[in-house]
């Protein structure tokens, strides 16, 4: 493992345009449960006739808004979590001018909380919420402090979290920005993702750079194509690489 840590350090030192592409494994080390693991959200028995996947679909949101928001507040918002070593390392690399962008499938806003500025949130963020009628912005506290279906205090419209639900399209501007960043990178570090969730996972095919690095506890479909593969905790890997206390 030490040889791989040393190799990753060398890659980072030699790189001028790094992009990080991350998934749920980045957030689990901050205490946020993932979706697909044995203990993940999708495998929880919620005592309901519908699955967790169905409950975060656009159809369910429209047809059962009260149940949706009850589930959303309970299972998808974690206001007290803090960035881990991975988030902090990426923010440090951005400040050094080496990391040009973070592309994330997570909706928790922890990259920004750690200090990263150029973040492409493919699936949106729980920190942003908008009135479906007038477009007024509301922060996460509005959702947490509300009961039932949150309503706009300006026009009475329903407030919708700015997260991409099943059956909804990804934001074109976010996707295009992520594609451009990945396409310009000399190093792409992929971490905390099994690379099975599309269309997000398909973005890595735009990488044409020199170094493809994969950091994940389990194997991924792209392992054989990578220049460096590390099967370990992504937070611990970055802690050692960046020597963060």
Judge whether 58 counts as a catalytic residue.
Answer: no
| Identified catalytic residue from 87, 111, 123, 231 | 123
Q: How far apart are CA 147 and CA 70, in angstroms?
A: 8
Pairing of strands 159-163, 124-131: antiparallel
242 CB-near residues (< 8 Å, 6+ apart)? 85, 88, 89, 92, 93
CB atoms within 10 A of CB 158: 16
Q: What angle do CA 197, 24, 192 make, to 5 degrees?
A: 90
Structural tokens at position 2: 């030490």
Contact (CB, 8 A) for 41 and 52:
yes
167: left (phi over 0), alpha (psi -120 to 50) or beta: left
Q: How far apart are CA 22 and CA 7, in angstroms?
A: 20
Give me the active site residues, please.
Answer: 123
């Amino acid at each position: 493992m030490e040889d791989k840590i040393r190799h990753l350090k060398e890659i980072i030192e030699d790189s001028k345009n790094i992009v990080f592409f991350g998934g749920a494994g980045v957030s689990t080390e901050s205490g946020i449960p993932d979706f697909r693991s044995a203990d993940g959200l999708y495998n929880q028995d919620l005592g309901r006739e519908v699955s967790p996947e169905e409950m975060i679909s656009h159809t369910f949101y429209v047809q059962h808004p009260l149940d949706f928001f009850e589930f959303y507040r309970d299972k998808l918002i974690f206001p007290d979590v803090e960035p881990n070593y991975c988030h902090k390392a990426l923010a440090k690399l951005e400040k050094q001018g080496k990391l040009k962008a973070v592309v994330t499938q997570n909706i928790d806003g922890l990259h920004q909380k750690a200090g990263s500025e150029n973040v492409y949130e493919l699936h949106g963020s729980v920190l942003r919420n908008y009135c479906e009628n007038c477009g007024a912005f509301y922060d996460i506290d509005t959702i947490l402090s509300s009961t039932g279906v949150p309503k706009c205090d300006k026009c009475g419209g329903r407030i919708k979290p700015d997260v991409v639900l099943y059956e909804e399209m990804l934001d074109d501007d976010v996707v295009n920005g992520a594609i451009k960043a990945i396409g310009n990178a000399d190093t792409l570090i992929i971490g905390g993702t099994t690379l099975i969730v599309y269309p997000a996972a398909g973005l890595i095919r735009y990488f044409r750079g020199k170094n493809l690095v994969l950091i994940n506890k389990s194997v991924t479909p792209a392992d054989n194509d990578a220049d460096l593969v590390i099967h370990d905790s992504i937070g611990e890997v970055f802690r050692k690489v960046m020597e963060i206390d």
